[in-house]
Amino acid sequence: MSVQITTLEELTSPSRAASSSLSIQEYFLNMGPQHPIAHGSLRLLLVLDGEIVREVIPVPGFVHRGIEKMCEHLTCRQIVHLTDRMDYLSALSNNWCLSRTVERAAGIETNERIETVRTIVAELQRVQSHALWWGVLGMDLGALTPFLYAFRDREIISTAFEETIGARLTMNYIQPGGLMFDIHPGFVARVKEVLAHMRPILDEYDALLSGNVILQERLRNVGVLPAEKALAMGCTGPVLRGSGVALDLRKAEPYGVYEKAAFDVVVGTVGDCVRMEEMRQSLGIVEQLIDSIPAGPHMTVKPAAKIKLPAGMHYGQIETPRGILGTLIVSDGKSDKPWRVHFRTPNYNNLWAVTAIAPGCKIADIIAIQASLDLVIPDIDR
Amino acid sequence: MGVVLDKLPGLLEKIPGGGILVAPIDAVINWARLSSLWPLAFGTKCCAIEMLMATGGPHQDLSRFGVEVVRPSPRQADLMVVAGAIVKKTALRMRLLYEQMAEPRYVIATGSCAISGGPFMYNSYTIVRGVDQIVPVDVYVPGCPPRPEAFFWGLLMLQKMIRQGESIRRPGIRRKPVLAALPAGVTVQDIQERMRAPLEEQNVVDVAGAAAEKPWAKKVRQWVKKH
Amino acid sequence: MGEETLIPRVLAAEPSAKVRDDAGGPSVEVAPDRLFGLMQCLRDRPDLAFDMLMAHTAVDWLEQGRFELVYILYSTVHGHGLTVCASVPRDKPVAPTLSGLWPIAHWQEREVFDLMGVLYDGHPDLRRVFLEDDWQGYPLRKDYQDSDMLELPQ
């Protein structure tokens, strides 16, 4: 039986470089947890040969709070606020994934109003999240202006959320059984303002950054991920769709009211940044749904009700702006606290693609690759 | 605290009437420091989006307070904005970053994770319950995440602390401002009279001493020696 | 292809697999020594074609003395999903590695090793991923004791 446990020190020891087959000695460069482009706290160990990167060793764990262990001591409703804090840029989608899993397991029915509002806010958050990705992409590559543009538009969407949901970032809004609060009377008007504002803004984004020849030269043919490798490395979301695989859970296993809205799945050919077009599709979905939110209660179970899950494993998936988030809840059927909760997070599975596409790139390309993967580090670490 | 400023109070005392100059020099130096705080962006989690990125955005503009140049390197920063939860793995690096900052250095702990562990206080096996176990904190800004306006309130409180609370006579000793809501029928003068002596004692902080006493100071020395 | 045809095809590939009905979707359970063979069939046979290993984790059943390894598979070709479970004893938790079949398993198994302490036979680089290399114990086990972990008083 050959189970060998290694440590990071063994991997980075000098004797490893001496025994490598290269005649030139490779050296380690640490892009440590404190770094302007770290997107959080991720440590990347680069094995360099001059300027060319031979290997990338990501070392996560700098924001590992042990959420899965904490969930074993909380009721299902209390876990929702922890899901916000995993991938905070798509907090509503995270809430929805947990709520949907719990509802399917416990047999709780929701109504049309709840599902429509959930779809609308989740798509608005998708636009918000991709806008931040766009701004940070520019900032990482040295263009600081798009960052300000992105945050100007994020504020407009945040204000619309704050009026109804009460929070700007960690929402805790989509609960098992419905929504935390009913929508504000001015919600529809605000969302229409957002739509009217964002449509021409997306063309401005293209004119400013994504259509810029300098940016395109920096990104073209850098870190191309072929389709089979993307599938085998567990990538989902825009990373996978950019490689040419048309997997979008909103079409493959529809939830919410996505079946009622007509939209396209955006697929790239050689790792194009599909997020720009996805923003337009999301705006289209919200436009189709905003005028016809049906009437009804915003919560189908009493807020104080104890939700007991039947014994067994329950798994639910959602398409977040970064990929497929899955929640596995294992319940022993006796208490209202789960026995084990596991989150299949999109960022943990997308991260390791960098080890496959980085070798052969230069250091500056690593930054472009990390920016285009759109990782949120607390989602990796949970 | 710098060659010139260390020797300056001694020189001034020797000149007849030189003691009068200390107060205006204090005022100028403190004004310069509070108007040009350079933050070290130590954001790990959600608070980083609100505290560091959104406050830099155009709707809530951080640069109008002089806090324009956000530096990733601790050697060039003097204000550490801790935005996010700190776990044990990060705490060692964070302590190193704090020690690499040049004095005078300030710390604002934003968000409930940095103040006390936040939502992860119970049943988490890696979280450090409060950044004040690692570094001495000057201002706490509560919220999860705090609004950018709340962060500005904390920043303004820090600026007030710098303006009123430091002197070149006692470098490294900072006096914190006291803000309280007054109950009906009580004036500020009453409180100032009654509280003057106890506040004097409690509200003066020896920052350098507090920094050296933290348990993580010793842990980081051992870790650096090992690596 | 619906659930009705999926399970019979899986059983045809691995007759010793048992069907489970407590997982919300199609699910089978195998013994650990048959696991690698089953996974290879699931990936390679064109009528099954599970090209994505969506998730892999472990559940600690303390009283029953076993770790239950859970693999969630998905096929982009056919659009169906499957959950595969295998149990290893708690005092000798060794499982075969699947990193030769799906590269992402390399890191999913490292996470399970880090948090649960399940060892993977043949894994090229079995190392902790979140916690420090010298962390004592495996936190997600039910009998994990840690004086630093503050418990909420009930």
Q: Kindly report, residue by residue over B43-65, the tens digit of the pLDDT.
A: 888 888 888 888 888 888 888 88
pLDDT value of residue B202: 65
Distance CA C47, CA C31 (A): 23
Which tokens sit at A159?
Answer: 């204000």
Contact indicator for C51, A232 with CB cutoff of 8 Å: yes
Residues of B in contact with A65 (CB under 8 A): 85, 87, 120, 124, 126-127
CATH assignment, A74-381 = 1.10.645.10
pLDDT value of residue C59: 92
Residue A5: is its pLDDT beyond 90? no
Amino acid in the structure at residue B1: M
Residue of C nearest to A316 (CA): C24
Distance CA A351, CA A136 (A): 17
Q: Which CATH architecture has domain B3-226?
A: 3-Layer(aba) Sandwich (3.40)
User: Is the minimum CB–CB distance between B189 and chain C shorter than 8 Å?
Assistant: no
User: Is the minimum CB–CB distance between B192 and chain A shorter than 8 Å?
Assistant: no
Residue B148: is its pLDDT beyond 80? yes
Distance CA A194, CA A156 (A): 7
Residues of B in contact with C151 (CB under 8 A): 122-123
Residues of A in contact with C134 (CB under 8 A): 7
pLDDT band at A38 (very low <50, low <70, confident <90, very high): low
- Would you call the peptide bond into B145 cis, given omega within 30 degrees of 0 as the criterion? yes
pLDDT value of residue A286: 92
Residues of C in contact with B88 (CB under 8 A): 132
DSSP tag of C126? B
A234:C54 CB<8 A: yes
Cα angle for residues A169, A173, A174 (degrees, 5° grid)? 125
Contact indicator for C129, C110 with CB cutoff of 8 Å: yes
Which tokens sit at C47?
Answer: 């009528």
Q: Any idea where the domains of chain B sit in the sequence?
A: 3-226
Contact indicator for A250, A324 with CB cutoff of 8 Å: no
Question: Which of C68, C51, C44 has its CA nearest to residue C103?
Answer: C51
C72:A326 CB<8 A: yes
Quote the crossing angle between the two packed helices C3-13 and C35-44, to the nearest 10°: 130
Task: Spell out the residues 6+ positions from residue C136 whose beta carbon is closer than 8 angstroms to its own.
Answer: none
B122:C139 CB<8 A: no
DSSP tag of B120? G
A88: three-class secondary structure by DSSP: helix
A1:C25 CB<8 A: no
Contact indicator for A230, A240 with CB cutoff of 8 Å: yes
Residue C27: is its pLDDT beyond 80? yes
Q: Is the dihedral of CA A95, A100, A101, A105 positive or negative?
A: positive
Closest partner residue to A63 (CB to CB) among B54, B87, B125 is B87
Give A218: exposed, middle or buried? Use CB within 10 Å, 0-12, 13-18, 19+: middle
pLDDT band at C125 (very low <50, low <70, confident <90, very high): confident
Amino acid in the structure at residue A188: V
For chain A, give me the number of helices (H) and strands (E)? 17, 8
Touching chains, C (3+ CB pairs < 8 A): A, B
Report ipTM for this prediction.
0.90
Closest partner residue to C151 (CB to CB) among B88, B123, B126 is B123
For residue B42, what are the CA distances in angstroms to A62, B79, B80, B98?
Answer: 12, 10, 7, 10
Residue of B nearest to C138 (CA): B125
Closest partner residue to A66 (CB to CB) among C104, C134, C139 is C139
Contact indicator for A171, A124 with CB cutoff of 8 Å: no
Provide the shortest C-alpha distance from residue C9 to chain A (in Å).
22
Residue of A nearest to B88 (CA): A62
> How many C-beta atoms lie closer than 10 Å to residue B121's C-beta?
16
pLDDT of A220-261, one tens digit each? 777 788 888 888 888 998 988 888 888 888 988 888 889 888
**What would the mean pLDDT of A60-87 be, rounded to a whole number?**
90
pLDDT value of residue C1: 46
Q: Any idea where the domains of chain A sit in the sequence?
A: 8-59, 74-381
User: Is the minimum CB–CB distance between B124 and chain C shorter than 8 Å?
Assistant: yes
* Mean pLDDT of the residues in chain A: 86
**Lowest-confidence pick of A127-136, A285-294, B172-181:** B172-181
B123:C149 CB<8 A: yes
φ/ψ of B174, rounded to 5, equals: -125, 140
Chain C interface, best mutation among B116, B123, B126, by max C CB count within 10 A:
B126
Residue B179: is its pLDDT beyond 60? no
pLDDT of C61-115, one tens digit each? 988 889 999 999 998 888 888 999 999 998 888 999 998 899 999 999 999 999 9
Provide the shortest C-alpha distance from residue A291 to chain B (in Å).
29
DSSP tag of B155? H
Q: Which residue has the tokens 């595969």?
A: C84
For residue A200, what are the CA distances in angstroms to A137, A291, C25?
Answer: 20, 21, 44
Percent of chain A exceeding pLDDT 70 equals 94
Contact indicator for B22, B167 with CB cutoff of 8 Å: yes
User: Is the minimum CB–CB distance between B143 and chain A shorter than 8 Å?
Assistant: no
**Lowest-confidence pick of A39-43, B220-224, C2-6, C107-111:** C2-6
Contact indicator for B83, A40 with CB cutoff of 8 Å: no
C3-92 homologous superfamily: NADH:ubiquinone oxidoreductase Nqo5 subunit (3.30.460.80)
Distance CA A233, CA A346 (A): 11
Contact indicator for B157, B179 with CB cutoff of 8 Å: yes
pLDDT of B53-101, one tens digit each? 888 888 888 888 888 888 888 898 889 999 989 999 889 888 999 999 9
A70:B124 CB<8 A: yes
**What would the mean pLDDT of B167-179 be, rounded to a whole number?**
70
Provide the shortest C-alpha distance from residue C143 to chain B (in Å).
13
Percent of chain A exceeding pLDDT 90 equals 28
pLDDT of B127-145, one tens digit each? 998 898 899 888 889 888 8
Residue of B nearest to C133 (CA): B89
pLDDT band at A283 (very low <50, low <70, confident <90, very high): very high
Distance CA B22, CA B12 (A): 8
Closest partner residue to C150 (CB to CB) among B89, B122, B126 is B122
Provide the shortest C-alpha distance from residue A2 to chain B (in Å).
29
Which tokens sit at B23?
Answer: 């107060």
Contacts 24+ apart (CB under 8 A), B165-168: B166/B26, B166/B30, B166/B33, B166/B104, B167/B22, B167/B26, B168/B1, B168/B5, B168/B8, B168/B9, B168/B22, B168/B25, B168/B26, B168/B29
Provide the shortest C-alpha distance from residue C130 to chain B (in Å).
9
pLDDT band at A1 (very low <50, low <70, confident <90, very high): very low
**Lowest-confidence pick of A61-70, A189-198, A266-275:** A266-275
pLDDT value of residue A177: 87
Closest partner residue to A69 (CB to CB) among C57, C121, C140 is C140
φ/ψ of C147, rounded to 5, equals: -70, -20
Chain A interface, best mutation among B49, B50, B113, by max A CB count within 10 A:
B49
B82: part of which helix (H) or strand (E)?
A: strand B79-83
Residue of C nearest to A107 (CA): C24
Instruction: For strands B139-141 and A312-320, give the pairing.
Output: unpaired
Residue of A nearest to C98 (CA): A232
pLDDT of A75-109, one tens digit each? 888 899 889 898 899 999 999 999 999 999 888 88
Contact indicator for B128, B88 with CB cutoff of 8 Å: yes
pLDDT of A325-373, one tens digit each? 999 999 988 888 899 999 999 999 999 988 888 888 888 888 888 888 8
Residue of A nearest to B127 (CA): A65
Residues of C in contact with B89 (CB under 8 A): 131-132
User: Is the minimum CB–CB distance between C134 and chain B shorter than 8 Å?
Assistant: no
pLDDT value of residue B164: 79
pLDDT value of residue B177: 62
pLDDT band at A21 (very low <50, low <70, confident <90, very high): low
Residues of A in contact with B97 (CB under 8 A): 34
pLDDT of B19-51, one tens digit each? 777 778 888 888 988 888 899 878 888 888 888
Q: Which residue has the tokens 């063309």?
A: A203
**List of E strands, chain C:** 18-19, 27-30, 52-61, 66-74, 81-89, 94-96, 119-121
pLDDT value of residue A253: 87
**Sheet order of strands, B39-43 included:** B39-43, B79-83, B106-110, B139-141
pLDDT value of residue A303: 76
- B-contacting residues of C 113-132, CB under 8 Å? 131-132
C102:A313 CB<8 A: no
